[in-house]
Structure 1
């Protein structure tokens, strides 16, 4: 038992493994570097793909850092932390997952010499890292970033193109950028002076195998994989009045195993009549507002279908809640959870066309030509499921880039230029720092060079020569926009080359990478109560005490 007094802090049983001190720190650094090495070849336009096979035999081919790390199985706790980092980055800004892992791994590996050779205390390294992070964010905002006009479509296309350029979809980059920009600007909402752009909820990607990628479009409205409930219902409606329900149009059965005992035949007729009257009542409540189309998340009974058909109303049932919310935003309707609460203002009037089309063997409902829809569906076509999945992952990144720029209209030069400029500025600042903290501070500046270096390596160019030339450019010209052309590995001015990245993504990448490195450096003890595989007996059972009965003996 560790700890004094009556409150024990930690109880170590005999089969608890414990590692501490330098061994843990070097182990954590090695784990972080290992994860970074897996992802390293996935950075830049010349990136390689990884083929991942899951236990079910499914195959994923991608160069999206987050998708790769989701599939990897690791045991080491520090490596698991690195995987979490990529997920956080993806949820927060939706891009830069590869960069954050590479940078985090490098921040850890530059700390290794201080721990091993100079026997420096982790706290000293951590405080230098913190200081470097603060300075870095200020320099990036004040000296390197430029503001951008969100309404200038040509500029926005360039920005999204720089994100798409490193992906599988780069061959169709014009189309991808157009789709990403249209979808993001469609779902943008301004409330109280703040922009709210919820891509996850309101810009849904629907994949239909078949056709060419060039056939992909952003629909001004919503598409769902559904057909009308009754074959005689209308499959095309112009300017329909749409009612959205969150309740079923069928007779409510009694809760929890209700038993009804019937003695006379007339009673049975009565019960059937009650059901019929109830369904007629709720159908009449719906028909009061004169809808042309009823969409519900629950079921619709045959009788209700009959009443709706008689009134000339089309009906779609069992629509997902998320799809229903999207339809509500697109057509300007309100989802109602009780039929007796239906009012005229709940009816959606903004939809220009309702039609049902058949692709392959399946029917799809289109609610399109909406007036100012605040939700949309991106319809992707392509040769196979694998290609469509990869295109979807790439599009999500592109939409996130567009969203980040719309929310915070600041840009920084891409192609490793921002990292190189920061590295240069931090190296200069390090000269003014007195004491031992100067070295870890300088190490952060050195670690930032990993991004341009990796870009050069992935092109197959000479990293040492190119990086030295790039460093010289930043020192001599005092410019912040010199970076690496990811296609050829040559040094180019990003202002002319036109590769820009959102400020929000860059800042989040640096913050997450450095803070993860700090977190892992602060660990000096790993206590695991998990037994090793194959070790079925505890250490106490392995060595019987003297005088204790041997197996098979009578006690």
Structure 2
């Protein structure tokens, strides 16, 4: 009987006891029912009844129920054994997954955006931050603020990275990109709560991004980089929202002069190289007035001459740049010298002098007026230079040496023996050393076509000069972007509203669920003009309705006047922004929103001081890893 299935077993047992009373059938059906229950619990097996356990008792008294004993045995019975739970993740972890993780990311992104929402536009508020060293940071620059804020949430850290990326890439729009990214994610929130899959939302966002970039391209206009007036008005609109807006004409001129100085056209191509980070150095000198700031047609160094008898003013100097010490070269490894007689010691000193003299003679043979070295200059070398009427300046930074080389036309040499006439720089018009405040500064000015420059910033306090520098960097980045891509888009939220209106129209043509996330991007774009109105105390609903009507009628140059909160034509006000900044802002905001929506699990390790009590595992006294 073993090995037969339940139905067959039951059939045979029923045949055996076909003449018995109803209790027999109840007993058989009870056994079958128990087998069914076991099978329902996941026991996938053959069930049979053991007929040997079926006992027929005919001698029982009349009226007494006949007892039947039905035993069941399980063939191939594979009951799952009870196992201890397998712990894969470290118990000292915080974990959020699924929708909870997505909602957490969206909340974190919105929180970061709300922090700097008031820093947008000409009526923006300043943030005062106390850094860990006790210094005060007073700024409305989005990147500078977020750089100083410490956050724990990974999504918030990702948002702060956006601002840094935007600053490095285009130098402007750091506040806009955070606000826009936060609003795009906020627009995705209701769709996630309505159980629309994140992949569907991301797909709609990607379509909206493509269409938005096309709209920016359509409404952009070309600009002539050689037209000073157009360039100045463009830069002015960029720093009009900053602390330096009072001195905007001066700042614009400084930025444009600096960028034009370092711009180099690559031979054989139309491409222009503008490396403001390396070749346009800002020298901050506290004291004086902001109006005294200027762009030098050359280089300034915070250095003095090495010997008081050296010349402090030279016209049309011949300049040599070195990357080696003018000192006796000691052995690379430790050297021991054994001296047997006193004359040997004198000979050692003589060898040192001869080596230094040989280096100086080689330099003097080229008849330079100025020698700059990144390393040290020994007293003996200074003596020879003073006798030859040569001025030497030592321990110049590598970056400063590179700028001097570009400004005066010299070549940096690593060994004195390699010096040639072609390495001498002759493009400098004037070398002089001036004392400003308590410090001495070296000036190399009146350079002939310098491809590097220094910007001198003056101001009443260090904090103000730091803020002026941040604003100037933004202005230079705007000018650089126009040199790279000579196209302008209307400012004052006009570009964003144009994109919003166009996307709203296209959303009606999209079928299916994707229409709703696509439409939410159009609504998110309106956050920039809305924030501009709110920051200057205007009526956001009324003003945005007027602006939307203008753009629906095809007048895409209308935007928000950030000073008064009114709808005006950006062409009349001359408020333009490089289209490169707008493209980068929209691209970064939407792509980062897609990235955060794709996250469905957040696992974060707890810091040592926040660890919960150990739940078994490590013995007492041992540190939990």
TM-score of the pair, normalised by structure 2:
0.84
The reply to whether residue 465 of structure 1 matches residue 560 of structure 2 is no
Cα gap change, 1:532 to 1:104, in 2 (>3 Å): farther
In 2, the alpha carbon distance for the partners of 1:65 and 1:13 equals 37
Contact 1:16 1:531 in 2 (8 A): no
In 1, the alpha carbon distance for the partners of 2:608 and 2:307 equals 60
The reply to whether residue 280 of structure 1 matches residue 357 of structure 2 is yes
Helix, strand or coil at the partner of 2:616: helix
Contact 2:231 2:479 in 1 (8 A): yes
- How is 1:202-213 mapped onto 2 (pairs within 5 angstroms)? 202-213=279-290
1:547 matched residue in structure 2: none
CA RMSD for the aligned pairs? Answer: 1.4
Task: Select the residue among 407, 432, 435 that pairs with 1:355.
Answer: 432
The reply to whether residue 317 of structure 1 matches residue 317 of structure 2 is no
Contact 1:66 1:87 in 2 (8 A): yes
- How is 1:119-518 mapped onto 2 (pairs within 5 angstroms)? 119-141=195-217, 143-191=218-266, 192-193=268-269, 194-476=271-553, 478-518=554-594
2:40 matched residue in structure 1: none
In 1, the alpha carbon distance for the partners of 2:386 and 2:311 equals 9
In 2, the alpha carbon distance for the partners of 1:534 and 1:541 equals 18
Kindly provide the CA deviation profile for residues 430-475 of structure 1, in whole angstroms up to 9, marking residues without a partner as x. 1111111011111101000000011001101111111111111211
Kindly provide the CA deviation profile for residues 204-244 of structure 1, in whole angstroms up to 9, marking residues without a partner as x. 00000111100000000000000010000000000000000
Contact 1:355 1:366 in 2 (8 A): yes
In 2, the alpha carbon distance for the partners of 1:251 and 1:45 equals 59
Indicate the larger mover: 381-390 or 253-262.
253-262
Q: CA deviation at 1:541?
A: 6.2
The reply to whether residue 79 of structure 1 matches residue 79 of structure 2 is no
Q: CA deviation at 1:190?
A: 0.7
1:3 matched residue in structure 2: none
Alignment gaps of 5+ in structure 1:
1-9, 545-549
Q: CA deviation at 1:136?
A: 1.0
Q: CA deviation at 1:535?
A: 2.8
Which aligned segments of 4 or more residues in structure 1 are displaced greater than 4 angstroms?
Answer: none
Contact 2:220 2:489 in 1 (8 A): yes
In 2, the alpha carbon distance for the partners of 1:198 and 1:475 equals 41
Kindly provide the CA deviation profile for residues 262-309 of structure 1, in whole angstroms up to 9, marking residues without a partner as x. 232111100100000000001111112111000000000000001111
In 2, the alpha carbon distance for the partners of 1:279 and 1:131 equals 70
Kindly provide the CA deviation profile for residues 394-449 of structure 1, in whole angstroms up to 9, marking residues without a partner as x. 00000000000011000000000000011001111111111110111111010000
In 1, the alpha carbon distance for the partners of 2:570 and 2:88 equals 57
Task: Select the residue among 578, 595, 602 that pairs with 1:519.
Answer: 595
Contact 2:215 2:498 in 1 (8 A): no
- How is 1:87-106 mapped onto 2 (pairs within 5 angstroms)? 87-106=164-183
The reply to whether residue 540 of structure 1 matches residue 616 of structure 2 is yes
Helix, strand or coil at the partner of 1:356: strand
In 2, the alpha carbon distance for the partners of 1:270 and 1:537 equals 73
Q: CA deviation at 1:70?
A: 0.6
Contact 1:14 1:540 in 2 (8 A): no
In 1, the alpha carbon distance for the partners of 2:609 and 2:517 equals 39
2:97 matched residue in structure 1: 20
In 1, the alpha carbon distance for the partners of 2:344 and 2:484 equals 65
In 2, the alpha carbon distance for the partners of 1:66 and 1:11 equals 39
1:6 matched residue in structure 2: none
In 1, the alpha carbon distance for the partners of 2:127 and 2:141 equals 9
Contact 1:149 1:409 in 2 (8 A): yes
Helix, strand or coil at the partner of 2:300: strand
In 2, the alpha carbon distance for the partners of 1:46 and 1:300 equals 54
Q: CA deviation at 1:537?
A: 2.9
Rg bigger for which structure? 2
The higher-RCO structure (CA 8 Å, 6+ apart) is 1
Helix, strand or coil at the partner of 1:539: coil
In 2, the alpha carbon distance for the partners of 1:366 and 1:188 equals 22
Q: CA deviation at 1:528?
A: 2.3
